[in-house]
């Protein structure tokens, strides 16, 4: 029987929700790994709605759970209903929605607050010693909730212009965590905390390299006992 994995989304669309390619890549790799997946999102309002063509906020209001249902093809549950005992692992794709809706990192940086259900979900899986997978910006959730943990968001320098958000690594270190520099096609395993991270779109890389890096993260999550 395959691993039971919970996937937590933050909306639909890179600028105000979950990054669509990352969420899809996670689902493809979980499918290939034989996992049984259920999808969740918090039933809250988005911080704001961004016109993805213009790249600017609008006056529109949208709900994170309703928007995430687009990616889940309608098969999704309120994050408040997620019970760690029903799953073997949890994974959080990235996208600005993580930093805007699941927490306030986009506004407050390392002084951010985390949504109560996101925090309780992370704590429940960690307490049960079950794997947590995170990609792109979502490793900051672990850095905020689990001081001293090890994560990667790529590199801590803007190597060849490929890591424009490299300063996130410094913020993670200031939270008392260890940032591990990794390339886009790699992931890092914090074996002590069972946290697996990969940088995904924190790196300017071809889509297939991001897809492969997410694949290493998913594979490591499924291997952890």
Backbone torsions φ then ψ of 97, nearest 5 degrees: -60, -30
Q: Is 173 helix (H, G, I), strand (E, B) or coil?
A: helix
Rounded Cα–Cα distance for residues 96 and 121 (Å): 19
Of 12, 112, 135, 136, catalytic: 136
> How many angstroms separate the Cα of 87 from the Cα of each of 128, 178, 189?
10, 27, 19
DSSP 110-123: GG--B-HHHHHHHH
Closest CA to 17 of 48, 60, 43, 59: 48
Is there a catalytic annotation at residue 149? Answer: no
Q: Is 49 helix (H, G, I), strand (E, B) or coil?
A: coil
Question: Which helix (H) or strand (E) covers residue 126, if one does?
Answer: helix 116-127
The residues annotated with a catalytic role in the active site are 136
């Amino acid at each position: 029987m395959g691993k039971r994995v919970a996937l937590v989304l933050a909306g639909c669309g890179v600028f105000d929700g979950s990054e669509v390619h990352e969420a899809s890549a996670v689902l493809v790799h979980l499918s290939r790994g034989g996992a049984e997946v259920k999808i969740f999102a918090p039933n809250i309002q988005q911080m704001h709605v961004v016109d993805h063509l213009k790249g600017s906020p609008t006056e529109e209001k949208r709900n994170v759970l309703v928007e995430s249902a687009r990616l889940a093809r309608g098969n999704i549950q309120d994050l408040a209903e997620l019970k760690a005992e029903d799953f073997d692992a949890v994974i959080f794709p990235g996208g600005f929605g993580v930093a805007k809706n699941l927490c306030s990192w986009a506004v407050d940086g390392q002084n951010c607050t985390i949504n109560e259900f996101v925090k309780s979900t992370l704590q429940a899986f960690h307490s049960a010693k079950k794997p947590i997978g995170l990609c792109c910006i979502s490793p900051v959730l672990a850095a905020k909730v689990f001081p001293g943990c090890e994560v990667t968001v790529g590199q801590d320098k803007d190597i060849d212009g490929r890591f424009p958000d490299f300063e996130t690594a410094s913020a993670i270190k200031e939270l008392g965590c260890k940032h591990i520099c990794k390339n886009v096609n790699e992931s890092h395993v914090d074996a002590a905390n069972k946290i697996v991270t990969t940088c995904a779109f924190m790196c300017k890389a071809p889509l297939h390299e991001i897809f492969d890096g997410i694949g290493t993260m998913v594979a490591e999550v499924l291997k952890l006992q």
